[in-house]
Chain A
């Protein structure tokens, strides 16, 4: 069966360091992968989309990689700030209409 795995344990890092979050998937051939940020009590907010033919994408302090051989995406936040503390979700799509399938999310805590 299809499975999307994100580290369920919270990631604690020091302000200024680079945070790296992992998204692994099995039994899936997505056309694209997306990353979202979700704060408590809020809906997810779109951050980045990377397509199957792209290896890397950047937006300001964010960088996403997509390895379709390893079936893995890495999400990096450089020069992390306490305001980056949130839950980050990966989502795969492009196989069945416009449907997105979400991973369980990883909670990031950036300490000052």
Chain B
């Protein structure tokens, strides 16, 4: 399975600012997935990021709020823009290798004050 390094692990941010989360994978992968997990909730897919093309966003998520970069096959960033307290959540990146289960980063716990 892949190993994902995700950072920062946590942050406390002022409302109206932006935070960029990074994920580095130790293998080349075609697709990377970004999820949000709100307190006490399960995971919700934000978008799928393919290298060399624009990310595909799920219903309820838009590029202006959650811009994603995917400059190569091992790296991706997710930015949470113009943050409000409702954006307080855990953000996770994920990849699939070998068609047998997904590997997740350790998550970024974001608190917006």
Contacts and interface: CB of A to CB of B under 8 A. Distances in A.
Contact of A43 (B42, B48, B96, B104): B104
A46 B1 contact: yes
B101 A43 contact: no
Interface string B64-79: 0000000000000000
Contacts of B48: 97-99
Given A97-B48, A98-B31, A45 B42 contact: no
A34 B43 contact: no
A103 B103 CA distance: 17
A16 interface: no
Interface string A54-94: 00000000000000000000000000000000000100000
B101 A42 contact: no
Nearest to B95: A98
Contacts of A97: 31, 48
A34 B101 contact: yes
Interface in A5-61: 34, 41-47, 49
A41 B109 CA distance: 8
Given A89-B42, A99-B45, A42 B107 contact: yes
A105 B59 CA distance: 22
Interface in B1-55: 1, 6, 31, 33, 41-45, 48
15 contacts: A34-B101, A34-B102, A41-B107, A41-B109, A43-B6, A44-B104, A47-B101, A49-B101, A98-B31, A98-B48, A98-B96, A99-B48, A101-B45, A102-B43, A102-B44
Given A46-B102, A100-B45, 7 more contacts: A34-B102, A44-B102, A89-B42, A98-B33, A100-B102, A102-B42, A102-B43
Interface of A: 34, 41-47, 49, 89, 97-105
